[in-house]
Amino acid sequence: MELGGKSPQLVFDDARLEDTVNGVCGGIFPPAGQSCIAGSRLLLQAGIYDTFVGKLLEVAARARLGDPNDAATSIGPIANRTHFERVLGHIERAKKSGATLACGGNAVNPDGVKGWFIESTIFTGVTPQMPLAREEIFGPVLAVMRFETEEEAVEIANDSSFGLAAGIWTEDHRRALALANRLEAGTVYINNYFDACTQSPVGGYKQSGYGRENGWEGMRNFLQTKSVWLSSARQIAAPF
């Protein structure tokens, strides 16, 4: 049973800037944030924070909203009006909580397309205790936070009631694999986001559910276990 998440993406100062910006955006915006594993919490190491945010805003601003059947479309619509209003409500609450709206945040009406559309939205100055950092929005809203050390990054990433997925962006693969073991998430992506195959089990930690789908772990959920006892004794004693 998979129950959603608030997945973090950890970006270290040795990550390849352009590739990582593209990967971070791809991990949240194309499905308008409507993905259970959407990388909606962005944790940036302090040394690259300003540079990365600047590049992130440039890429997000290029997103084209429109018909998802059009190959030129970057972001499609919100599923329905009720959820559309819910996402806008989260955005308004984030403004009031002290987070800084760096881009987006508005409802839009692409020319010639019907639907409920919200711009790709990025908030900076987010702290781990803000609702924006703790509640699953399921919309195109990215919460950006700063960290100094690996220890702080892991602490922030794991400070969540969810644990479905996480992303790590670094050129130090030893560090990435060590951190993957410490992150409380059912799937950890390293220098990518959204990669998948049917042989790899998918599932969550904490309030992100229990059990697994895909792989042998998923197949076992469809099996029943039976115990059979065959006696090799030549004689059975009388019961009384």
What's the count of helices (H) and strands (E) in the chain, helices before strands? 7, 9
Q: What is the pLDDT along the chain (240 residues), one digit of tens a residue?
A: 889 999 999 999 999 999 999 999 999 999 999 999 999 999 999 999 999 999 999 999 999 999 999 999 999 999 999 999 999 999 999 999 999 999 999 999 999 899 999 999 999 999 999 999 999 999 999 999 999 999 999 999 999 999 999 999 999 999 999 999 999 999 999 999 999 899 999 999 999 999 999 999 999 989 999 999 999 888 888 889
DSSP alpha helix (H) spans, the chain: 17-26, 49-61, 81-97, 131-134, 150-158, 173-182, 215-220
Q: Determine the topology of domain 8-214 in CATH.
A: Aldehyde Dehydrogenase; Chain A, domain 2 (3.40.309)
> Chain-centre distance of CA 202, in angstroms?
13
Note the pTM of the prediction, 2 decimals: 0.93
| Cα(116)–Cα(45) distance, integer angstroms | 34
User: Domain map of the chain by residue range?
Assistant: 8-214
Residue 179's φ and ψ, nearest 5 degrees, are -70, -35
